[in-house]
Amino acid sequence: MTLPYAEVIGDPIAQSKSPAIHGFWLEKLGIAAEYRRAHVRSEELAAYIAARRVDADWRGCNVTMPHKQAIIRLLDRLDATAARIGAVNTVVCEADGTLTGRNTDAPGFIEPLLKAPVMPTRAVVIGAGGAARAIVTALVDAGVTVTIAARHPAEAAALLNDLVPGAEYRALDLADVAQPASAPAFDLVVNASPLGMVGNPPQVFDLSHATADAIVYDIVTAPRVTPLIAAARQSGQQTVDGLSMLIGQAAVAFEHFFGVAPLRDDGDAELRALLTA
């Protein structure tokens, strides 16, 4: 007997934590299914989708780099969030065999902020890449005023104009927030860039731009405690680490794949321990 399964695809893929996350939930719920990883190169993507379409056991896949945009043309439809963001990180095989592209990064990102005692109102997002698109979309939908700080402010401005045309949002040079501020302007700081990740340059954001009670949110997962998170904790500010978004987006995808919400009653403590062991 074969089991239903979902998987994560990308190039490279060995580093993905998705199999550990979904496998943990499948075991906890006693679901007879599997979650795998598949190394799919760009030139193999079309053949991969064609093969999975006719596999009755396949429930869908999570999509990592470099396929989040390229996969769109191979799908039957996009949900509204994926269409706005212009990227797909979850493909769901529907009951009729058609494929829907979704983006669970946006709801996964916003989840811990919606649980905060007070929702932030003024955010600065560092970075103007694909992750920033999902994050800005989620923040705008939550009513947060967004500023983007990036090495190339023109790219940040273009992103804002694409996602929220006509809105009075700001694009700044990253150098502007690397220097001390005369007064704090933001109650939410989000690092949506690779800065601070293992093997990348350190984060340069100066925390004087954030209020004393600001939330500092770094989506980098390696290291789990990034220099930005460590500095914010030392300053007494609230922090959210990258595992929060990673687990949150996986939870949304899991329910699409397997038809039931994952068990998260312990605030993901056991899962976090597994992922950081």
Q: Which two tokens stand for residue 195?
A: 């800065």
Instruction: List Cα–Cα distances, 215 to 126, 140, 159, in angstroms.
Output: 14, 17, 23
- Alpha-carbon gap, residue 145 to 125, rounded angstroms: 11
- Name residue 190's beta-bridge partners: 125, 217
- Name residue 257's beta-bridge partners: none
What is the secondary structure of 53-79 as a DSSP string? HT-TTEEEEEE-TT-TTGGGGGSSEE-
Compute the chain's Rg from CA coordinates: 19
Phi, psi of 220, deg, nearest 5: -65, 135
Sign of the C-alpha dihedral computed for residues 97, 137, 159 and 230 taken in this order? negative
- Contact criterion met (CB below 8 Å) for 195 and 126: yes
Angle, CA of 5, 7 and 11, to the nearest 5°:
160
Any idea which residues carry the catalytic annotation? Answer: 68
Give, for 158, the enclosing helix (H) or strand (E). helix 153-163
- Alpha-carbon gap, residue 201 to 191, rounded angstroms: 13
Q: Please name the amino acid found at residue 45.
A: L
- Alpha-carbon gap, residue 136 to 124, rounded angstroms: 10
Q: Within 71-129, where are the H helices?
A: 80-85, 105-114
